[in-house]
Amino acid sequence: MKFENKFENINDIGKGKKYMIFTYGCQMNEHDSEEIAWILENMGYSPAINKEESNLIIFNTCSVRENADLKVYGQLGALKALKREKPDLTIAVCGCMSQQESVRNFIMDKFKHVDIIFGTNNIHKLPQLINNHLQTGETVVDIVEESREIVESIDSHRKYDFKAFVNIMYGCNNFCTYCIVPYTRGREKSRKPESILKEIETLAEKGYKEITLLGQNVNSYGKNLKNPYTFAQLLRDINKIEGIERIRFMTSHPKDLSDELIYAMRDCDKVCKHLHLPVQSGSDKILKNMNRKYTKENYLELVKKIKTEIPDIALTTDIIVGFPGETEEDFEETLDLVKKVRYDSAYTFLYSKREGTIAAKQEEQVPEDIKHKRFQRLLDTLYPISYEINSSYIGQTVKVLVEDISKNDETVLSGRTDSSKLVHFKGNKELIGTFVDVKITNVKTFTLEGHIV
């Protein structure tokens, strides 16, 4: 794609220049960074190996928890010296932090060496924004509040050439009371099925084998489309695409997980038997205050239905500890739910107060020491279950898509099972991007180990 604009040489701005992107947060951000990389490489930029040789450094930020913000502030602060040495270095901040006015103002006030601030919804305008900054020397701020304009012509410079993220929708309508995402990513907007299918067909032609469909709540995909079309239909249509061998997706909100989707997962041989189903808490009172719109019982019933239809399903979840007003009894409900569901693994979070959300106004914040103690008890409940589930793999031969070589040992490869378990085994790096059969001989809490058979 060539970018239309009033400047003649905008597509050459990056010739001979180097860029680096630092990405924080979720897969959506990772994929946004792949799109940004593609745009920059179309402008002539090439990847840098360190900050010192970079002409452009972009921070694609996350705001879900406070720690993520703090890390970016630390990184920005550390760049002040480099910018002084190299005044023509361009520093840009994008992603969820940029979408919040108070954060933008803070960055502009405290980090005057930041040159460009853009949002999650206008990535396609980046060439123009870089050009504006380079022409004027001014700080350029460009934010679009509403959820992302669907610009179908942006491609991605994907990290892997055998597995790819594909956005199917942008934004979120759920307003869970702790969550900043609906404020940073705007309202839910689905891409048209035709363009999603076309993108995946093109990926398949290029040799991609696995795709991960991305959306804040993929289960409500299609609700705003003119012609009725559901996420379950989308899965069935993608399942027919030749060349694609694995289909993954995230994230699913339990309130919108339909029987139709469970049946599609059961019937489609390419859809991986793994479901990430964030529960957040096991207490009905907390779930209500989180605005999750289901009870513990609803969730357990849903899990039962899923396990009945797809007995070998791997279940993972997100859990927040220390939401305002969480009592010892509420927390014990969470532990009880974890024991009943028996998750393969879980992402666990200490509740983090996010300004602008409803929960931030709640007075009964849980003291930090109590939050930390509960967090440890939660891990002590989750880990033995993960280990037990992993132990059941010993002696089994599993199909693994080889993804990487180990950072510590070049002779060790890693890849994932259909159930999304990370597996380590000896092998040649030429196997990356192919499927191999691995016999599992040893397991840990988070990984499996074995040898190719």
Instruction: Give CA torsion, residues 315, 316, 321, 327, to 10 deg.
Output: 0
CA–CA separation, 162 and 430 (whole Å):
13
In degrees rounded to 5, what are phi and psi of residue 34? -65, -35
Is position 75 an interface residue for ligand SF4 (rule: CB under 6 A)? no
Q: Which of 9, 175, 304, 364 binds ligand SF4 (CB under 6 A)?
A: 175
Amino acid residing at 86: K
Q: Which of 216, 219, 390, 417 binds ligand SF4 (CB under 6 A)?
A: 216
Handedness of CA 313, 319, 325, 331 (dihedral sign): positive
Which residue's CB is nearer to ligand SF4, number 132 or number 216?
Answer: 216
Q: How far is the CB of 24 from ligand 5AD (least distance, A)?
A: 12
| CB-neighbour burial class of residue 433 (10 A; exposed 0-12, middle 13-18, buried 19+) | middle
Is position 393 an interface residue for ligand 5AD (rule: CB under 6 A)? no
Q: Which of 76, 172, 275, 310 binds ligand SF4 (CB under 6 A)?
A: 172
Q: Which of 19, 24, 111, 351 binds ligand 5AD (CB under 6 A)?
A: 351
Is position 316 an interface residue for ligand SF4 (rule: CB under 6 A)? no
Is position 158 an interface residue for ligand SF4 (rule: CB under 6 A)? no
The dihedral region occupied by 325, where left means phi > 0, alpha psi between -120 and 50, and beta the remainder, is left
Is position 24 an interface residue for ligand 5AD (rule: CB under 6 A)? no
CA distances from 157 to 51, 54, 277 (A): 20, 18, 29
- Looking at residues 284 to 313 of the shown chain, list those that interact with ligand 5AD (rule: CB under 6 A): none
- Looking at residues 147 to 206 of the shown chain, list those that interact with ligand 5AD (rule: CB under 6 A): 178-179
Residues whose CB is less than 8 angstroms from the CB of residue 301 and which lie 6 or more positions away in sequence, other chains included = none
Q: How far is the CB of 139 from ligand 5AD (least distance, A)?
A: 29
Partner from ligand SF4, ligand 5AD, none binding residue 31, C-beta < 5-8 Å depending on class:
none
Q: How far is the CB of 278 from ligand SF4 (least distance, A)?
A: 7
Residues 259-298 as x/- pattern, contact with ligand SF4 by CB under 6 A: ----------------------------------------
Residues whose CB is less than 8 angstroms from the CB of residue 13 and which lie 6 or more positions away in sequence, other chains included = 43, 44, 127, 130, 131, 134
In degrees rounded to 5, what are phi and psi of residue 187? -80, 155
CA–CA separation, 211 and 235 (whole Å):
11
Inter-helix orientation angle 296-309/328-341, to 10°: 10
Q: Which of 217, 220, 252, 390 binds ligand SF4 (CB under 6 A)?
A: 217
Of the listed pieces 175-183, 344-352, 362-370, 379-387, which binds ligand SF4 according to CB under 6 A? 175-183
In degrees rounded to 5, what are phi and psi of residue 384? -60, -30
In degrees rounded to 5, what are phi and psi of residue 7? -95, 135
Partner from ligand SF4, ligand 5AD, none binding residue 354, C-beta < 5-8 Å depending on class:
ligand 5AD
Q: How far is the CB of 414 from ligand 5AD (least distance, A)?
A: 24
Is position 30 an interface residue for ligand 5AD (rule: CB under 6 A)? no
Residue 101 tokens, joined: 């006015």
Of the listed pieces 93-101, 102-110, 294-302, 348-356, which binds ligand 5AD according to CB under 6 A? 348-356
Residue 272 tokens, joined: 């991986």
Of the listed pieces 17-25, 129-137, 159-167, 177-185, which binds ligand SF4 according to CB under 6 A? 177-185
Amino acid residing at 104: R
Q: How far is the CB of 51 from ligand 5AD (least distance, A)?
A: 28
CA distances from 95 to 122, 168, 356 (A): 10, 18, 17
- Looking at residues 220 to 259 of the shown chain, list those that interact with ligand SF4 (rule: CB under 6 A): 253
User: Which residues contact ligand SF4 (rule: CB under 6 A)?
Assistant: 172, 174-176, 179, 181-182, 216-217, 253
User: Which residues contact ligand 5AD (rule: CB under 6 A)?
Assistant: 64-65, 178-179, 278, 280, 318, 320, 349, 351-352, 354
